[in-house]
Amino acid sequence: MPNILHIISSPRGDASNSIKLSEAIIERLQLNYPSAVLHTKDLTKSPFPHLEEVHLNAFLTPVEQHTEAHREAIKHSNLAIEELMNADFVVIGAPMYNFGISSTLKAWFDHVTRAGITFKYTQQGPVGLLSGKQVYLAITTGGIYSSGANVENDFLTPYLKFMLAFIGMDNVTVCRAEGFALSETRDNALEKAIGRIQI
Ligand SMILES: Cc1cc2nc3c(=O)[nH]c(=O)nc-3n(C[C@H](O)[C@H](O)[C@H](O)COP(=O)(O)O)c2cc1C
């Protein structure tokens, strides 16, 4: 039974376009894999904190020397990594905030990108350890970034792809709904993006 992990990072609930686009992707996955089990992680309901000293100490301390404070500090990080490890498909809803990902999604990355667990350093350079997963990005933006003058201002898509590959998830399909802030594109933006989904 394949597992689908849906990561939500928009706080807009039913009004969110990245959630709607993610759900359309998930619907298609479920058509292809009817036995798939869906796990939803809403980062806006249980946000990850900025990394604090106790998190960093816990990340850098061998597990057998962990104190109760270390264990408590990284229990959500450990759970988030376990969820990723168990996933066959990962669908990430990512609204663009100020040309990059939201701080909500960035905080999640800070808690799942851990040396020795999700990546390791080797003599040949860093190696990602979360291999064998198919990732779908449901990216939503107010402007247009797929072509035209703003292409180079999209720091979200390259960053997400780089970070995912860094932890071993290099099989990434980008689904993009764009132009929600523009009167000429906003009404059809979601429909167009859903029509272009290729699973
Ligand atoms: C705080 C904030 C910052 C935003 N920054 C950008 C931006 O830099 N570029 C852009 O094209 N759209 C920007 N937008 C628009 C959102 O990316 C767009 O509305 C998107 O559809 C939101 O996704 P959601 O509907 O899933 O919440 C911003 C929206 C918010 C709320």
The secondary element (H helix, E strand) that includes residue 119 is strand 119-122
Please state the rounded mean pLDDT for residues 164-189: 98
153 labeled part of a ligand binding site: no
CB neighbourhood size of 177 (10 A): 24
Please state the rounded mean pLDDT for residues 151-163: 98
Tell me the CA–centroid distance for residue 95 and ligand 1, in Å: 6
Computed over its alpha carbons, how large is the radius of gyration of the chain? 17
User: What is the pLDDT, as a whole number, of residue 16?
Assistant: 98
165 — pLDDT class (breaks 50, 70, 90): very high
User: What is the pLDDT, as a whole number, of residue 9?
Assistant: 98
User: What is the pLDDT, as a whole number, of residue 55?
Assistant: 98
Question: Please, what is the Cα angle at 146 between 140 and 147, to 5 degrees?
Answer: 145
116: left (phi over 0), alpha (psi -120 to 50) or beta: left
Question: Phi and psi of 155, rounded to 5°?
Answer: -90, -10
Please state the rounded mean pLDDT for residues 176-181: 98
Please state the rounded mean pLDDT for residues 124-133: 97
Quick: pLDDT tens for 89-118. Answer: 999 999 999 999 999 999 999 999 999 999
User: What is the pLDDT, as a whole number, of residue 193?
Assistant: 98
Please state the rounded mean pLDDT for residues 141-151: 97
Q: Whose CA is nearest to atom 23 of ligand 1?
A: 95
146 labeled part of a ligand binding site: no
Assess whether the C-beta atom of 9 lies below 6 angstroms from ligand 1: no
31 — pLDDT class (breaks 50, 70, 90): very high
140 labeled part of a ligand binding site: yes
135 — pLDDT class (breaks 50, 70, 90): very high
Assess whether the C-beta atom of 143 lies below 6 angstroms from ligand 1: yes
Give the separation between CA 13 and CA 93, rounded to whole angstroms.
12
Best of 98, 139, 155, 183 for a ligand 1 pocket test (most atoms within 8 Å of beta carbon): 98
Assess whether the C-beta atom of 17 lies below 6 angstroms from ligand 1: yes
Q: How far is CA 93 from the centre of its chain?
A: 7
Please state the rounded mean pLDDT for residues 47-64: 97
Assess whether the C-beta atom of 104 lies below 6 angstroms from ligand 1: no
Best of 92, 97, 185 for a ligand 1 pocket test (most atoms within 8 Å of beta carbon): 97
| Type of residue found at 40 | T
Going by C-alpha positions, the residue among 33, 86, 47 that lies closest to residue 199 is: 33
Write down the CATH number for the domain with range 3-195.
3.40.50.360
Tell me the CA–centroid distance for residue 69 and ligand 1, in Å: 37
Please state the rounded mean pLDDT for residues 33-39: 98
